[in-house]
A and B are shown apart, each in its own frame.
Chain A
Amino acid sequence: MKIVVLIKEVPDTWGDRRLNSETGLLDRAGAEPVVDEINERALEVALTYADAQTGTEIVALAIGPASVPTSLRKALGMGADSAVHVLDDALVGADITLTAQVIAAAIKRIGFDLVIAGNVSTDGGGSAIPSMVAELLGVPGATYLNAVEITVDAVTGRRETEAGSFGVKAALPAVISITEALPDARFPNFKGIMAAKKKPFETLSLGDLDITPTEESRSIVLNVTQRPARTAGTVITDEGDAGQQLADFLAKNQLI
């Protein structure tokens, strides 16, 4: 089975994430770029399957700027067999629709039985890519899975939505996305990191994928404003009457 795992490089949520107020794009001078945690969990799902099934091939795919190879090397160090990076200046500021088109084209070129993505990234927050990619590939997209079981020809799982809990099943080839209810990823060990250096790593441009970012409808940023940061208020140490003082504070501010 060939599994493609989607990797997104994001600004570390522990850092100071900033937007450029003119372009609306991420200010890369802010937080350090890292593999989004949810993608590590997605890779873990693939690795767990590969541990039990010989003959499983895992390809890590990312699109993004020149820093992305570090993130893909981490995926290789954890156990992915090869990596593909789509790098092209024309992708700076790409909207979700173009991003999905590029990812789908790269996946078609790689070939796949299953695509595994995270359900939502920590910087975009759109959750749209997995379903868009499924649509463009013409396959089922079983997203938001809290539990996953992969077999030779299908994937089953549970999906919680606002309406309720769904048991779902998709015949392969398919796309899935997983939630953070799934286990944390393993760490790359020394052996893995050394082996990663010899694994196949391919870099593709939009030309390689026959994509010309056309003038079709795109989502564009009109305006960006920064909100003033919050400041600390009163902090008291409980000396036996803090509950009472808090009740007074809430009453004074008409909150009770």
Chain B
Amino acid sequence: MTEFATDSILVLVEVSPSGAVLPSAAGLIGAAAAIGSPVALVVAAPGAGPAAAKAAGEFGATQVLVAERPDAATSLLVPTVDSLAAAAALVSPQAVLLSHSVQGRDVAARFAARTGSALAVDAVGISRDDEGPVVHHSVYGGSYLVDSAASSGAIVLTVRQGAIEARAAATKPTIETLEVPASGMRDVDIVDFEEVVVASSRPELRGAKTVVSGGRGLGSAEKFALVEELADVLGAAVGASRAAVDAGYVPQSHQVGQTGVTVAPQLYIALGISGAIQHRAGMQTAKTIVAINKDANAPIFEIADFGIVGDLFAVVPQLVSAIQSKRK
């Protein structure tokens, strides 16, 4: 039987019901490789295992455990939790890494509850000291940096998407089939599934270098196109305030803030966004912040490096053509 290094870090690679490996795996394996030996686990429907294992190798996993479960595409969480429990028992890792994605959070939570493990959530980094892995968190909109660890045993942690830049070199991993005893735990049934279609060539909001966000000041879904136009000129991702999401200008997945996505880009441009504290919680650690708002008292100006008091419908078109002419 395969030996596992004492500094093994077990990484759950997220696989969609259709067998696709989600991009979060790259950062997770990158983070694991920086502090130990990454062992990846893929849980997939029968037949989908080898392709997913190969993808994990391309992200730098040296060893991959494959659990093929007939219920992987019909049962929401338990097949993955059972497989993770079996993998952890086999590997005895120092830490278990999952994505702080919707699915990753749930699997981490159930696994930690089942095994009585310490759980650290929404990590922005991981390092190691003499006693083992140390987890870094950014709390209250980045106002505080907090380090945590497990008092004993392997720590289970979820890693914020887009927070880890480290990438491990691609490998040809050793692949092993994992036998998974079923827990018999009652689960949620998957009734139907529609895969996300990446419709645009725009970057992902999480981890983007530049983000252009629009708020209620855009006024309508049609006029929100101006945000997208500027984003495309800058090669930026598109964000939004909760008010813009509630008004139906853009889907919820674009929401930046307290209850949306947290971003930390090089450049953040806020258009027609007042800068409520809950919005700032999701973007105030951006390197450079630019704001355009017609209200000189809008709180967004308190944190902007460059602010313009003006009508965004006049300023943005001029900005777009000025950028284009600078590039000529």
By a beta-carbon cutoff of 8 Å, the part of chain A in contact with chain B is: 13-14, 17-19, 24, 38, 95-97, 100-101, 120, 122-136, 138-144, 146, 156, 159-171, 174, 179-181, 215-227, 229-238, 241-251, 253, 255-256
B285 surroundings in chain A (CB, below 8 A): 227
Instruction: Say yes or no: A232-B326 contact (C-beta < 8 A), given A169-B189, A220-B148.
Output: no
Chain A residues, CB < 8 A from B318: 241-244
Are B188 and A243 interface neighbours, CB within 8 A? no
Binding stretch for chain A, among B29-37, B57-65, B170-178, B300-308: B300-308
Report which of B155, B289, B315 forms a contact with A243, defined as CB distance below 8 A. Answer: B315
B304:A232 contact, CB within 8 angstroms:
yes
Q: Is B92 an interface residue (CB 8 A)?
A: no
| Chain B residue, CB-CB nearest to A236 | B308
Is B322's CB under 8 angstroms from A243's CB?
yes
Residues of A within 8 A of B22 (CB): 162-163
Q: In residues 206-258 of chain B, which contact A (Cβ within 8 Å)?
A: 210, 234, 242, 252-253, 258
Is B40 on the interface with A (CB-CB < 8 A)?
no
**Interface contacts beyond A164-B194, A234-B306: sample of 6 additional A-B pairs, CB < 8 Å, sorted by A:** A126-B122, A142-B188, A166-B190, A166-B193, A237-B308, A244-B322
In the complex, what residue of chain A is closest to B204 when comparing beta carbons? A162
CB contacts (< 8 Å) of B109 on chain A: these are 96, 100, 126-132, 135
**In the A-B complex, the 10 residue pairs with the closest CB atoms:** A243-B318, A238-B310, A247-B322, A126-B121, A131-B109, A163-B16, A233-B305, A128-B109, A243-B319, A235-B307
Q: How far is the CA of A167 from the CA of B192 in the complex (A)?
A: 5
Asked if A246 contacts B145 (CB within 8 A), the reply is: no
Which residues of B25-67 have CB atoms within 8 Å of chain A's CB atoms? none
Report Cα–Cα, A95/B139, bound state, in Å: 15
How far, in whole Å, are A138 and B17 apart by their CA atoms in the complex? 23
Decide yes or no whether B281 CB sits under 8 A from chain A.
yes
* Contact, CB under 8 Å: B193 / A167: yes
